[in-house]
Structure 1
Amino acid sequence: MEIVVLDDPRACGRAVADAVADVLARGTGRPPTLGLATGSSPLPAYAELVRRHRDEGLSFAGARAFLLDEYLGLPAGHPQSYREVIRRELTDHLDIDPAAVHAPDGTRADPAEAAADYERLLAACGPVDLQILGIGGNGHIGFNEPGSAFGSRTRVATLTERTRADNARFFDRPADVPHRVLTQGPATIMEARRIVLVATGAGKRAAVAATVSGPVTTDVPATVLRDHPRCTLVLDRAAAGERAGPVATGQVGAPGRGR
């Protein structure tokens, strides 16, 4: 696991955008495939990608994208559905084909079937070349809450009250936050060729410390990433805490291997 510590969220966003641009530039004989996360931490990266497309001609033509998770029970087009968030914050401003942006279908009558269909689509189109992740205050990745089995795949999951409270700021009322979600499981996430997790703000410091230094345990789902051969944590100084000084660097282009 490589750790990159930068001064602020905007610098973290530029570093994540560098990793995306690197994937887009590589010719592999197949469409470049991106895994997209929502939440606050990736937003500076998405803003930087939009800027590079607008000002520098960075092209997403021919790329495809897969969202990490989705709420269950929100109607199609709800502004806080993750499909809508990604569309609004990123893909509507790029030259990516909207039909190439895929998300779990949280409106399906049978969510377990929707999860299985999404897992099959990922298997058919994958592997994901670069998966962008955030991290929850309790160490969740995607919506894999503490206790999620490392071997689990795309499935229906139930949010903890802590996660619902953390996400309440995006809704009109706390009661409006859904209780259930569709999420890629840790085993699905770990199949990505490369993972970049971005965490900013002091509120993520404890989760980052547990991920980097604590035992590998389902109590902190993000610790599974320590077993990925190409995983980079991009942190601002507030999230890094005491790790800020000795590991600071500005490059994410060629992440190291190993733990």
Structure 2
Amino acid sequence: MRIIVCENYQSLSKKAAQIIGSQMILKPNSVLGLATGSTPIGMYKNLIKMYEEGLIDFSKITTFNLDEYYNLPAENNQSYHYFMYDNLFNHININKENVHIPNGMAQDIDNECLHYDKMIDNSSGIDIQVLGIGNNAHIGFNEPTINFNKGTHVVTLDESTRKANARFFSSLEEVPTKAITMGTGSIFKSKKILLLASGKNKAEAIYNTVHGKVTPEVPSSILQFHQDVILILDKEAASLLSKDDYEVVQEVSKVK
């Protein structure tokens, strides 16, 4: 597990975009696993800038998103479908047929989960999966539980997760109680994993990810067993780690 600590959120976002951009340049038909939430927004802004300046090309890229709220229409401005188009897809030259987001409105939700995993397998797997992390160490919407879920599945959201996401809604009551998410097994199949974390409220989850016992009660701890994981953190998210745990990025060069 490689851990990179950046000065602040802006530096973190640039570093993450550079890693994704390098992957795209080395393999123009890369399969990217993407995440939502506030943390990756800065990375997406940097990727859009890199695209606009001709440094990267999305025309052959395929994407799979981690999750989507259950029973929330795609056109709802709080859906992750809406989020991804608003923050990335509407601003780049990606082929929309190569964009995949779980369908939380599917009539047969169990079949949708199986179909989603099959599509990932048929794409030859995810080259690099971007993750955020919840205050309770959830990745995707894999909440603390008694076992690791292998495949894409429907999950009941923890109250802490709903409260954390309530800032995006008019009230807590509007936050969905369920979501469809890639399982930890689906995530673990990715060739490379890039986890982003910003803020002191993520410090305990990060510490447990790196040094804690591997347990489904700390879903992100499973990453200790993955062969290629990079954590990109700001100083606050890394505040409980020892300086021996990580390398420091003082300044990330500006995108030309």
Relative to the length of structure 1, the TM-score reads 0.92
- 8 Å CA contact 1:5–1:244 kept in 2: the answer is no
Q: Which residue of 2 aligns with 1:254?
A: none
CA distance in 1, matches of 2:226, 2:55: 32
- SS of the residue corresponding to residue 236 of structure 2 reads helix
Determine whether 1:58 maps to 2:56.
yes
CA distance in 1, matches of 2:146, 2:57: 36
**Aligned-pair CA distance for 1:245:** 4.3
- 8 Å CA contact 1:168–1:174 kept in 2: the answer is yes
**Aligned-pair CA distance for 1:244:** 6.9
More deviation, 146-155/2-11: 146-155
**Aligned-pair CA distance for 1:112:** 1.3
Of the three residues 158, 169, 174, the one matched with 1:160 is 158
Tell me the alpha carbon deviations over residues 25-69 of structure 1, each in whole angstroms, 9 at most, x when there is no partner. 1248xx210000001111111111011111244211110100000
Q: Which residue of 1 aligns with 2:17?
A: 17
CA distance in 1, matches of 2:129, 2:227: 13
Q: Which residue of 1 aligns with 2:253?
A: none
Q: Which runs of at least 4 in structure 1 moved beyond 4 Å after TM superposition?
A: none
More deviation, 65-74/51-60: 51-60
**Aligned-pair CA distance for 1:185:** 0.3
Determine whether 1:26 maps to 2:23.
no
**Aligned-pair CA distance for 1:151:** 4.7
- 8 Å CA contact 1:149–1:186 kept in 2: the answer is no
- 8 Å CA contact 1:237–1:244 kept in 2: the answer is no
- 8 Å CA contact 1:159–1:181 kept in 2: the answer is yes
Determine whether 1:86 maps to 2:84.
yes
Relative to the length of structure 2, the TM-score reads 0.93
Q: Which runs of 5+ in 1 are unaligned?
A: 252-259
Q: Which residue of 1 aligns with 2:187?
A: 189
Tell me the alpha carbon deviations over residues 121-170 of structure 1, each in whole angstroms, 9 at most, x when there is no partner. 11111310010000000000000000163352101111010100000011
CA distance in 2, matches of 1:237, 1:69: 27
Percent same amino acid at aligned positions?
35
- 8 Å CA contact 1:144–1:186 kept in 2: the answer is yes
1:1-259 → structure 2 map (5 Å cutoff): 1-27=1-27, 31-147=29-145, 149-243=147-241, 245-246=243-244, 247-250=246-249
- SS of the residue corresponding to residue 81 of structure 2 reads helix
- 8 Å CA contact 2:204–2:240 kept in 1: the answer is no
- 8 Å CA contact 2:74–2:81 kept in 1: the answer is no
CA distance in 2, matches of 1:250, 1:130: 21
- 8 Å CA contact 1:130–1:195 kept in 2: the answer is yes
Residue identity matched to 2:26: R
CA distance in 1, matches of 2:135, 2:157: 13
Superposed CA RMSD: 1.5
Residue identity matched to 2:162: R
Aligned length: 249
CA distance in 1, matches of 2:119, 2:30: 15
Residue identity matched to 1:87: Y
